[in-house]
A and B are shown apart, each in its own frame.
Chain A
Amino acid sequence: MSLPPLVMRWQASDGGRRAPLWIPLFLLWPLALVLLLLLSPFLMVAAAVMWGGAWCRRLPRVAWALTRCVCSLRGLEVDFRKGEERFFISMK
């Protein structure tokens, strides 16, 4: 499993000049991790209370699958152009 994408380039222009947006995802992941750590006591209490449910037992597998999906986004590129319109997104 590779690292999650570190940088996202995003551009949506409608004919007018618009510079691509450069989003530093490498700053967002630590923030998300800190948020997850802060919420972890509440998540553990909720999991302990609702552990009997089938969907709750499936939750760790879903969380892992989602993590793999996010980490696999690296290298994704979508470039759509029609005339002057352009939509571009790139994950590196």
Chain B
Amino acid sequence: MSDNQKRVLEMLAEKKISVDEAYRLLTLVGPEEEGGVGGPGAGEAAGKRRPKYLRVSVQPTDEGGEAGAERVNIRVPVALIRAGMNLASLIPSIAVSRANEALKEKGLDLDLSRIKAEDLDQLVDALNDLEVDVKDKKERVLIHTE
């Protein structure tokens, strides 16, 4: 059994995820590597699998769930993120500075002009390891790639 599969089962045992979510994660993790622990290339092969979608979900927790609680489930193709960032690199400098100011007002200190196309591959590969799981009394926020 791989580490990822063990982690999914641990999360299920701790009731951090539902049975449906555990099943989906197990199918994404894939079948066990041959030889039990996995050969030397198995980890690299699994690591090089490019994510196809970015999933963001906000679900009410069991304690804080109300009838009118918000539920959000968004699946964004990673190709769209890449294409959008390519498009952002073509924004004229005047518009970029105004966009940067608007982002700064919202508390995001980003410089859109510094986003380069060659950095996109690294960013997309880094998304493969992205997993955000934030839980409070009212809701749970999950961000991961699939």
The answer to whether A83 touches B87 (Cβ under 8 A) is no
Nearest chain A CB to B21 CB, angstrom units: 15
Is there a chain A Cβ closer than 8 Å to B69's Cβ? yes
Nearest Cβ distance between residue A37 and chain B, in whole angstroms?
24
Please state if A72 and B82 are interface contacts (CB–CB under 8 Å).
yes
B90 sits at the interface (CB 8 A):
yes
Q: Is A65 in contact with B68, judged by CB distance below 8 angstroms?
A: no
- A82 near B82 (CB under 8 angstroms)? no
For B57, the closest partner residue in chain A by CB is A79
Let me know if B70 is at the binding interface, CB within 8 A.
Answer: yes
Find out whether the CB atom of B73 lies under 8 angstroms from the CB atom of A82. Answer: no
Residue of B nearest to A68 (CB): B83
> CB of A74 within 8 A of chain B?
yes
A23 to chain B, nearest CB (A): 18
Main secondary structure of the interface of B (DSSP, over half): mixed
Q: Which residues of A contact B84 (CB under 8 A)?
A: 69, 72
Contact present for B72 and A79 (CB under 8 Å) = yes
Contact between B71 and A62, CB atoms less than 8 A apart: no
Residue of B nearest to A54 (CB): B92
26 contacts between A and B (CB under 8 A): A55-B92, A61-B90, A62-B87, A65-B83, A66-B87, A68-B86, A69-B80, A72-B79, A72-B80, A72-B83, A72-B84, A76-B77, A76-B80, A77-B75, A78-B73, A78-B74, A78-B75, A79-B74, A80-B70, A80-B72, A80-B73, A81-B70, A82-B69, A82-B70, A82-B71, A83-B68
Name the 9 nearest CB pairs between A and B, nearest first: A83-B68, A72-B80, A72-B79, A68-B83, A65-B87, A79-B73, A77-B75, A75-B77, A81-B71
**Chain A residues in the interface with B (C-beta under 8 A):** 1-2, 55, 58, 61-62, 65-66, 68-69, 71-83
